[in-house]
Structure 1
């Protein structure tokens, strides 16, 4: 089966992932891959620095994080958007080993060849979302629905 996506320079930010063939609504596009690490391991490393405004970390569950800084694939290049055409779906593995859970990026609408794939990162920081942090985590999606930040309201 030919690949339907390719990573290349993005007008949104840095690298991005683009459809090279049409993608149907509800289609599983790619798995978000990387090394499984505990939250404590990630917190003691510089790859999860909230001051950077950049992350390849994906919270899998209460125990584990997928760290695409290590052994990551093209899914790590999918940019954030406030009006995304994809979503991240966590698939829980059978049994009690939460390390085996997986993250898939699936389309929420039909995507034409040439379109950039995006999803809402859903970033919620433990600390107060100050204007300074909102600026560090600025959103550049360009959508009319853009909130200006990748940070999501705390629940």
Structure 2
């Protein structure tokens, strides 16, 4: 497994406290919009107020095994560290390149305003604080790689969030 292929995005796993499809997740398209981001490429922006704790959107895509994700890697050979994979607690992954929605365009930030919660094998993006129209949505990707975090590796997963205490990388801190 190469370093690029080893990156996995992680969500917090929680017991189910939501209906099969939360009402807020169904309405996501009317409250958010994908457009050009000042941070990186495309981003997702609030177009209506979003309350703290509100589920904004479900991260959708094809659920595949991690070996299948590695087989499909990279999505773009010119940018091999950019994928739409989201690792699930089961070890499977959501590939948002296939059947994905606007959630795949939410950018990383070291001081995010959203978080990703896994509930019964599904991933929901939830507001950590109240969001105003025009604000870009961010969550901490918390990428994990088994390889040592070298300066070169951190640069490959460079963070562009601009937060005051930016880690400089989308990789999660080693524990």
TM-score where L is the length of structure 1: 0.89
Q: Deviations over 1:125-150 (max 9, x none)?
A: 12111111100100000111211100
Structure 1: unaligned runs, 5 residues or longer = 93-100
Matched, 1:79 2:99: no
Q: Which moved more, 1:10-19 or 1:40-49?
A: 40-49
Matched, 1:144 2:164: yes
**Offset at residue 48 of structure 1 (A):** 6.9
d(CA) in 2 for partners of 1:145, 1:153? 13
d(CA) in 2 for partners of 1:13, 1:35? 24
User: Does structure 1 conserve the Cα–Cα contact (< 8 Å) formed by 2:74 and 2:81?
Assistant: no
Structure 2: unaligned runs, 5 residues or longer = 1-26
Q: Deviations over 1:28-81 (max 9, x none)?
A: 0000001000011111222379x8331211011233100111111100000000
Matched, 1:7 2:27: no
RMSD: 1.6
Q: How many residues align structurally? A: 146
**Secondary structure at 1:133's aligned position in 2?**
helix
Which 4+ runs in 1 deviate beyond 6 A? none
User: Does structure 2 conserve the Cα–Cα contact (< 8 Å) formed by 1:32 and 1:73?
Assistant: yes
TM-score where L is the length of structure 2: 0.79
